[in-house]
Structure 1
């Protein structure tokens, strides 16, 4: 093996948030107990993601089992001619009493405490963020172990993926909102994840739209 090449046991994960839903414009919290439909724009986004997955050399597609994620991932799997694998642990966090509501509709003091430290002060009835981080990051580790050396498109959810990124990169989970303020719909965040959990993950890109250039694609001249 020549210097600088990726180890065979390292998996390239292209993490994508699901396409736009009808709750997107209102900024309503859609967690594991809610599953709003995709918008017309969202339906266009899933086709764009499918084309990008082909261009990026994806060879496996994994999704949260929630409908909005499956509808986002299915066209990519079909375009690639692979079976879509759904992983229950990739589901979004449960937002408790905030589920289906906007922050403006919630108790202002609960919102203030949540924004200051979401790990110490989750909304009543919500899944603890540290537990959601462990669940989703563990699912991504399992994907890397199952598909070593592959390029995998993983369709998940904004909060779950941001929490997992912090966990896998050794960053404070309590800072996930500041470290990763936003994951755009169907934008891809590229992560290199060794199958061996003792080896660190590497973040190569954030919120990149496929088929934009990825780390493995030579940059073409813009002249």
Structure 2
């Protein structure tokens, strides 16, 4: 199966560099709406036959233009929502507490899955819920599946599950709004990342580029 992990379009907290992981969360900014509208053309050539989005409204809004273009239903699943920030909710992503949020998340990908986000979930819970949706998608028998998900969740799950993406790479390569990580494999045989935000992933890792819409985070 080819699995496209797509970060949602921009929301106001992204523009302010603030952690916001609560459900249902805010809608897209004007830029985020343009990013969502650009997504079908950016993914032209991908024969997507199943489309999933998280329970946060921003992923569903980002998925809508793609769903209309492809004539697909949006399967909403809580398992692919963002990593719960807990006590770090509302913190700047570049503050000490915001950086600790990502440090804990990446520690799960490194195997420290019993560590708990203060006031939130642990790695067993987060990776388990994401795995469950991946397994559901795989069971559909679709060749290409797209997930509209979230930056920290995508980077953490990919570092934990893709054989050729390690924590160091995922930590040093943020995923911009509507950036895409493309993987190939299955829950049974494992996963290999093919590209990260448009750059080919090799054994040594790529130089990540911009998101598929070519629009940076503002």
Name the CA shift for 1:141/1:104 in 2 (closer, same or farther; >3 Å). same
2-structure distance, mates of 1:26, 1:19:
14
Q: Which residue of 1 aligns with 2:16?
A: 26
Q: Which residue of 2 aligns with 1:206?
A: 196
SS class of match (2:118): coil
Deviation at 1:172, TM superposition (A): 9.4
Pairwise CA RMSD? 2.9
Is the counterpart of residue 47 in structure 1 residue 37 in structure 2?
Answer: yes
Q: Which residue of 2 aligns with 1:75?
A: 65
Is the counterpart of residue 135 in structure 1 residue 159 in structure 2?
Answer: no
SS class of match (1:165): helix
Aligned residues: 195
Name the CA shift for 1:55/1:116 in 2 (closer, same or farther; >3 Å). closer
Deviation at 1:177, TM superposition (A): 7.7
Per-residue CA distance 1:132-176 (angstroms, 9 max, x = gap): 122213321221122x24212210011111121122225898x37
Per-residue CA distance 1:37-59 (angstroms, 9 max, x = gap): 21111000001112233432222
8 Å CA contact 1:97, 1:125 repeated in 2:
yes
Name the CA shift for 1:42/1:203 in 2 (closer, same or farther; >3 Å). same
SS class of match (1:142): helix
- Unaligned ranges ≥5, structure 2: 199-210
Per-residue CA distance 1:185-220 (angstroms, 9 max, x = gap): 1111111122xx3312111000124489xxxxxxxx
Is the counterpart of residue 182 in structure 1 residue 170 in structure 2?
Answer: no
1-structure distance, mates of 2:156, 2:21:
14
1-structure distance, mates of 2:85, 2:169:
15
Is the counterpart of residue 191 in structure 1 residue 183 in structure 2?
Answer: yes
Deviation at 1:23, TM superposition (A): 0.9
Q: Which residue of 1 aligns with 2:204?
A: none
1-structure distance, mates of 2:77, 2:143:
17
Per-residue CA distance 1:57-84 (angstroms, 9 max, x = gap): 2222111121000000011001111111
1:102 to 88, 92, 110: 92
- Greater C-alpha Rg: 1
8 Å CA contact 1:87, 1:139 repeated in 2:
yes
- Unaligned ranges ≥5, structure 1: 1-10, 213-223
Q: Using structure 2 for the length normalisation, give the TM-score.
A: 0.76
What does 1:139-158 align with in structure 2 at a 5 Å threshold? 139-146=133-140, 148-158=141-151
8 Å CA contact 1:55, 1:211 repeated in 2:
no
2-structure distance, mates of 1:211, 1:22:
18
SS class of match (1:190): strand
Q: Using structure 1 for the length normalisation, give the TM-score.
A: 0.75
